[in-house]
């Protein structure tokens, strides 16, 4: 059972209570955070082989098309790539999910057919961006309708964006209420819920302290994942920011026993960089987080490099991260 925000906060989640809690969190030592991230980027991960690391990266990718010119045909091509990333190698695993606009959910589900399902069980999820992605500038009524329509169409996951303007103005209660209401809009007719990823758009939050507070706020309001970015704003995902968010998830787990997912999105383009994220996850929250319901890469261009390095590995021409240990 999810711990309620009132329980954790010791009061109702109004602006005064949220401000007291969020501004009572220890401040972020920026130099220390960046030094930890740099050090983690050079550590080895407990794996059986480099091949394991490359395959695990593929299994954690959300393959995405979020363009105004998207068509059902383009979504079918995306789904084909998601199911068979390397058409020449049947041993290549599928990705975790495809991520599309809400009006393309039905096309994605139809294209997936029997493969549509839980990625932890070998299926491929369908995620939909919602709540006036990527700006988040819309009325609450529109945001909720956007979410509910995607869930009704069969979306397994909803990627929402927070109101960065409200957050930066210190109106934490508005941001909390919007996330909480969107979570309710994720409800299905059978009583279950689509998984809710809350996009912080960290590149617009300016400071590590703001990112830490926004991460806590998103979790308190009911987010199942905290996600760095839309991929439309720079800087997007960085290793220090992802480390900070993982530390928040770790602290939440220690406080409540509940596991929350993390999704870095945007700017992760090479297998070498992706392995640094695997290492950071394993060293910060544990290797049990390296599964689709707890960690994702929002980095479609990353897949091409991973496939290239995977192919090179079979020919002895691998040029990826050398510090992944071989058992």
Identify the active-site residue in 146, 156, 159, 305: 159
Q: Is the dihedral of CA 15, 21, 24, 26 positive or negative?
A: negative
Instruction: Measure the CA–CA gap between 254 and 324, rounded to whole angstroms.
Output: 28
Cα–Cα distance between 87 and 188 in angstroms, integer? 35
Distance from C-alpha of 134 to C-alpha of 138, rounded to nearest angstrom: 11
Beta-carbon-side half-sphere exposure of residue 182 (alpha carbons within 13 Å): 36
Query: Is 227 in the active site?
Result: yes
Cite the DSSP H helix spans in 153-284: 164-168, 172-185, 208-220, 239-256, 271-284
Between CA 52 and CA 61 the distance in angstroms is 15
Q: Catalytic residue among 50, 183, 227, 276, which?
A: 227
Is 121 an annotated catalytic residue? no
CA-closest candidate to residue 283, choices 47, 45, 55, 31: 45
Q: Is residue 98 within 8 Å of residue 78, measured between CB atoms?
A: yes
Whole-angstrom distance, CA of residue 1 vs CA of residue 81: 37
102-111 burial: b if 16+ Cβ within 10 Å, else e: bebbbbbbeb
Among the listed residues 143, 212, 263, 276, the single catalytic one is 263
Q: How are the residues of the chain apportioned to helix, strand and coil, as percentages rounded to the nearest 5? A: 50, 10, 40
Q: Are 77 and 300 in contact (CB under 8 A)?
A: no
* Residues designated catalytic: 159, 227, 263
């Amino acid at each position: 059972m999810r711990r309620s925000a009132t329980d954790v906060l010791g009061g109702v989640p109004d602006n005064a209570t949220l401000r007291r809690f969020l501004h009572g969190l220890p401040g972020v030592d920026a130099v220390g955070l960046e030094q930890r991230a740099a050090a983690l980027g050079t550590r080895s991960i407990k794996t059986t082989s480099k091949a394991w690391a490359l395959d695990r990266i593929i299994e954690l990718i959300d393959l995405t098309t979020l363009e105004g010119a998207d068509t059902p045909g383009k979504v079918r091509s995306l789904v084909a790539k998601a199911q068979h990333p390397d058409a020449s190698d049947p041993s290549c695993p599928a990705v975790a999910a495809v991520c599309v606009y809400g009006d393309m959910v039905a096309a994605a589900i139809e294209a997936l057919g029997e493969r549509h399902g839980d990625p932890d069980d070998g299926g491929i999820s369908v995620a939909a961006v919602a709540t006036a992605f990527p700006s988040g500038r819309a009325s609450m009524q529109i945001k909720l309708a956007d979410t509910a329509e995607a869930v009704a169409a069969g979306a397994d996951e909803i990627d929402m964006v927070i109101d960065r303007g409200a957050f930066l103005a210190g109106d934490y209660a508005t941001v909390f209420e919007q996330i909480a209401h969107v979570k309710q809009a994720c409800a299905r007719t059978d009583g279950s819920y689509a998984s809710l990823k809350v996009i912080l758009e960290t590149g617009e939050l300016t400071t590590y302290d703001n990112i830490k507070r926004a991460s806590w706020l998103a979790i308190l309001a009911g987010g199942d994942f905290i996600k760095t970015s839309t991929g439309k704003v720079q800087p997007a995902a960085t290793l220090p920011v992802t480390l900070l968010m993982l530390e928040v998830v770790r602290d939440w787990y220690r406080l409540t026993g509940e596991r929350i997912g993390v999704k870095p999105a945007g700017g992760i383009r090479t297998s070498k960089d992706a392995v640094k994220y695997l290492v950071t996850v394993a060293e910060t929250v544990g290797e049990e987080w390296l599964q689709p319901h707890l960690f994702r890469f929002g980095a479609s261009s990353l897949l091409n490099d991973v496939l290239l390095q995977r192919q090179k590995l079979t020919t002895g021409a691998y040029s990826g991260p050398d510090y992944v240990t071989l058992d």
